[in-house]
Amino acid sequence: MTTGGRYILATCFIVVGLLAIMPSLKRDGVLRDGPSLHTRLKRITGFSKQLKFIHVTKSGGTSVENAGIAAGIMWGRAHKEYGWWHELFPRKPSALKEKYDWFTVVRNPMSRMVSEFHCRWGGVGDNVAQHNVSSFNEFLQRNIIGKAYLGVGDHYSAQVLYMDPDIPVRVLRFENLTAEFDELMTEYGLDVSLQFANHMPHKFSEHDFYPSTIALIRETYADDFTHFGYPTGIANTMKEGG
């Protein structure tokens, strides 16, 4: 048997052995003493990778970045090797993508568009008081049409564009972010706690969408709704117009 073959065989025995004793070691998915089973297996087999973050706009990414920074982990805007932190992941060099494990956060496109409008970078920010329902819808429609599929990555970009067919990305959902984030941190043996940032009150909501805005969101982000399993409906209290 070759040296490589003996190494693979030995690794298999180690993994099988750990799995066999896992019930006595685990409690609520976490080893009682030290890092998670996921982390120990990676360390033993030599396939350990650091966990890095892909920042889709208006999906809790700033909170994730801040949590990482507080724990001394460079994610998103703090991960200088990634470069422009909203750039589409498939555009990044293969060497970078293969170097790390990756996760991201996605959000229902309907509520994401509301957040985009109120954002100080991609939206109107502090000028929200100057807008009414009509200008809210007009602003969103113009930006959705102009930016959703630019192909670079930024505010209003379709979330599915961040998925790479060759590199697995762990997807968390904004709507259940705290629980899913905590589960991921446990798997990687990371002591990181999520604290939400950017809690700005919104003047407008999904209920202020014109029917034409809803139709545009459904059409433009159809792959987001399908790929991430989000419903396309909202409450039946839409504004007239559009």
The CATH number of the domain holding residue 223 is 3.40.50
Residue position matching structure tokens 């805005």: 213
Confirm if 123 and 23 have CB atoms less than 8 A apart: no
Does 21 fall in a domain? yes
Confirm if 199 and 175 have CB atoms less than 8 A apart: no
User: So what's the pLDDT on residue 234?
Assistant: 77
Whether 19 has a pLDDT exceeding 90, the answer reads no
Residue 241: pLDDT band (50, 70, 90) is very low
Closest CA to 29 of 168, 172, 188: 188
Kindly state whether residues 35 and 101 are assigned to the same domain: no
Residue 117: pLDDT band (50, 70, 90) is very high
Kindly state whether residues 99 and 117 are assigned to the same domain: yes
The pair of structure tokens assigned to 34 is 């030290």
Residue 150: pLDDT band (50, 70, 90) is confident
Kindly state whether residues 37 and 134 are assigned to the same domain: no
H or E stretch covering 215: helix 211-220
Q: What is the pLDDT averaged over residues 101-114? A: 97
**Helix, strand or coil for residue 189?**
coil
How many C-beta neighbours within 10 Å does residue 28 have?
A: 6
User: So what's the pLDDT on residue 4?
Assistant: 42
Kindly state whether residues 30 and 91 are assigned to the same domain: no
pLDDT digits (tens, 9 = 90+) for 176-234: 999 999 999 999 999 999 988 666 679 999 999 999 999 999 999 999 999 999 999 87
User: So what's the pLDDT on residue 171?
Assistant: 98
d(CA 180, CA 122): 26
Confirm if 151 and 88 have CB atoms less than 8 A apart: yes
Kindly state whether residues 114 and 224 are assigned to the same domain: yes
Does 17 fall in a domain? yes
d(CA 112, CA 166): 27
d(CA 98, CA 105): 19
Contacts of 1 (CB under 8 A, 6+ apart): 9
The pair of structure tokens assigned to 18 is 């750990």
Does 8 fall in a domain? yes
Percentage of the chain surpassing pLDDT 90? 67
The pair of structure tokens assigned to 209 is 């969408």
Whether 175 has a pLDDT exceeding 90, the answer reads yes
Query: What mean pLDDT, rounded, does the chain reach?
Result: 82
Does 240 fall in a domain? no
Does 43 fall in a domain? yes
Kindly state whether residues 57 and 83 are assigned to the same domain: yes
Q: What is the pLDDT averaged over residues 161-181? A: 96
d(CA 195, CA 201): 17
How many C-beta neighbours within 10 Å does residue 87 have?
A: 17
Residue 26: pLDDT band (50, 70, 90) is very low
Contacts of 153 (CB under 8 A, 6+ apart): 84, 86, 87, 88, 89, 91, 161, 162
Kindly state whether residues 26 and 99 are assigned to the same domain: no
Kindly state whether residues 198 and 213 are assigned to the same domain: yes
Does 89 fall in a domain? yes
Kindly state whether residues 4 and 73 are assigned to the same domain: no
- Torsion angle, alpha carbons of 176, 179, 180, 185, to 10: 150
Kindly state whether residues 157 and 79 are assigned to the same domain: yes
Structural domains in the chain (count): 2
Whether 162 has a pLDDT exceeding 50, the answer reads yes
Does 207 fall in a domain? yes
Contacts of 8 (CB under 8 A, 6+ apart): none
Confirm if 54 and 162 have CB atoms less than 8 A apart: yes
Kindly state whether residues 134 and 167 are assigned to the same domain: yes
Does 242 fall in a domain? no
Whether 43 has a pLDDT exceeding 60, the answer reads no
Identify the domain containing residue 16 by its residue range.
1-48
pLDDT digits (tens, 9 = 90+) for 61-102: 999 999 999 999 999 999 999 998 999 999 999 999 999 999
d(CA 19, CA 25): 10
Kindly state whether residues 11 and 130 are assigned to the same domain: no
